[in-house]
Structure 1
Amino acid sequence: MAQEILDERVCERRELLKKAYSISQLFEIGRWLKIAYFDKFLCCWEIDEDEASMEIASKITDDMLKQIFQNYKPHERIVFRGKYYLLSNGKLSLEGAQALINDGIRKLKSKYGSLGILLLKAIIERGGVIDLDSAREVIGLTKADTDEILSDLENFGILTLSYVGGKYREWSVPKEAFSIIDAEIMGASKKTPMISKSAGAKAGENNKLTPYLRREF
């Protein structure tokens, strides 16, 4: 069990490094750590990003990881919400995002009930990415109501706004958060009956949702 946790942590550490740093930075970090793998190459463009990330991840401790983030600035606006590591606004936390995400899902259930879980589950099933129109198809509510649910999912620490182009927006779930969300919503779906898209639409038409959702098109 301990070995499984260690392997899981190393894999997540690898994904964090890949997401936070460019290949040139990974090369610099590997050289700084004096990892033998990096001595085989003259420049960063010769290395494999996956191999380089794993070489670093498997040979450092969490204390060394903290030192890396102190010495090397990660990509701006990168968000990482994993089980073991949390990166937000350039700051690394070794406590992970599990408590943050689980609390966000509890807030989602409290405010929207099974409708919120239905939407979140659909986002995960679609690969973690959704736009406003696709979300409306899932829950059958007005644009304004759907937009507010998506905004709340963002505020609750579950989604990030990943693309904005004119009036078009996309939200996404960080891939490293999938397992946390999946474990939490599977438990939620067993406790709370899911409602279908048509049921959501009918509920909206009949004004049987919370006052928060009673709006006009």
Structure 2
Amino acid sequence: MVDEDKVIERKILLKRAFQKPQLFEIGRNLAIPYFELFENPWVIDEDQAAYEIASIIGDSQLKEIFETHKPKSWVVFRGEHYTFEDGLLSLKGSWNTLRSSLQELRKRHGDKVDKILKVILETSGGCNPLEIAEKLKGQVDPAPLLADMERMKLIVPFYEGDGYKEWTVLEEVSPLLRLELGLAKPEKAAKPSEVTKVVGEEEVDYVAMERQEIERMDNELNTYLTELLKKRLNATIKFGKKFSISVLADYLIKLFGPVLYFDSLLSITQQYGLADVEIIHEKGGTGMRTG
């Protein structure tokens, strides 16, 4: 009998650890019919793709996939059945360790821990100390506890930069913390709709699929910009005032060296040059556009 909880956890892990082209290659190697519907790996649905793979493999195949295909080394996953950290996959879950960490923090800080975690769990996206303090109406100063919670791996950074930081709870850790805090269980992740189209019987509408992908990316960008305007506008403006082509060049030189950096610099500046935006200077608009 298939353990659906493990399948869903494998799906989340695969989606987080691998990019679309890698999922595409893995699916093709496993001869999964879904992947035969596409020629372009970038148009596959990540949720569907990861689920298709997760639903037919076991632990040994999962381990083989992580050994054969290079996952994102910076990714962290702390599930009930699997752990991925520091670039290494373990078939042992993290929940027992996290449960012990929560108990230890409760002994040290009392119910403040539960109050802070509840706020983070009920907040979509990241949460900063000021937001937490505001929602708790000044009952708790969260700043000293957040570092402890991160060190004990109950929360992870959501955004960090220029003295500003937000935290969140990993998707696979959320059910455990909700259970421990007596909160309502989150709705189970919906199983991706099954693909009924058979290759060769009907032509795939790549234009429609590309349009859907563009809409998804637009929504993702709009969500990011909304969060930025709400929480990081001043920091972003400050960064923009300091940023210049020389700063970008110095950054790329550190990454790629004094010879190879120029290819990346040229590519980035060309992309900015193609954007249809107004050209301005310190006294205002010029009436010209870049695009």
* Percent of aligned pairs sharing the same letter: 37
Report the count of equivalent residues.
182
Go from structure 1 to structure 2 and tell me whether the alpha carbon gap of 1:117 and 1:38 turns closer, same or farther (over 3 Å shift).
Answer: same
Post-superposition Cα deviations, 1:12-62, rounded to whole Å, max 9, x if no partner, equal 111111111111110111122222322232220232212111110011011
Residue 164 (structure 2) aligns with: 168
Output the CA distance in 2 between the equivalents of 1:129 and 1:141.
20
SS at match of 1:83: coil
Unaligned runs of 5+ in 1: 188-217
Residue 151 (structure 1) aligns with: 147
Output the CA distance in 1 between the equivalents of 2:43 and 2:128.
37
- Asked which structure has the greater CA Rg, the reply is 2
Bigger helix fraction: 1
Contact 1:107/1:156, CA 8 A, preserved across alignment: no
Is residue 49 of structure 1 aligned with residue 39 of structure 2?
no
Residue 185 (structure 1) aligns with: 181
Contact 1:130/1:171, CA 8 A, preserved across alignment: yes
Residue 92 (structure 2) aligns with: 95
Amino acid at match of 1:8: D
Amino acid at match of 1:7: E
Unaligned runs of 5+ in 2: 184-291
RMSD: 1.9
Residue 218 (structure 2) aligns with: none
SS at match of 2:173: helix
Output the CA distance in 1 between the equivalents of 2:111 and 2:137.
10
Output the CA distance in 2 between the equivalents of 1:65 and 1:50.
17
Scaled by the length of structure 1, what TM-score is found? 0.77
> Of residues 120, 123, 127 in structure 2, which corresponds to 1:126?
123
Is residue 12 of structure 1 aligned with residue 27 of structure 2?
no
Moved over 4 A (4+): none
Contact 1:82/1:177, CA 8 A, preserved across alignment: yes
Residue 112 (structure 2) aligns with: 115
Amino acid at match of 2:151: N
- Of structures 1 and 2, the one scoring higher in RCO (CA 8 A, sep 6+) is 1
Scaled by the length of structure 2, what TM-score is found? 0.59
Deviation at residue 110 of structure 1 after TM alignment? 0.8
Amino acid at match of 2:128: D
Output the CA distance in 1 between the equivalents of 2:161 and 2:54.
35
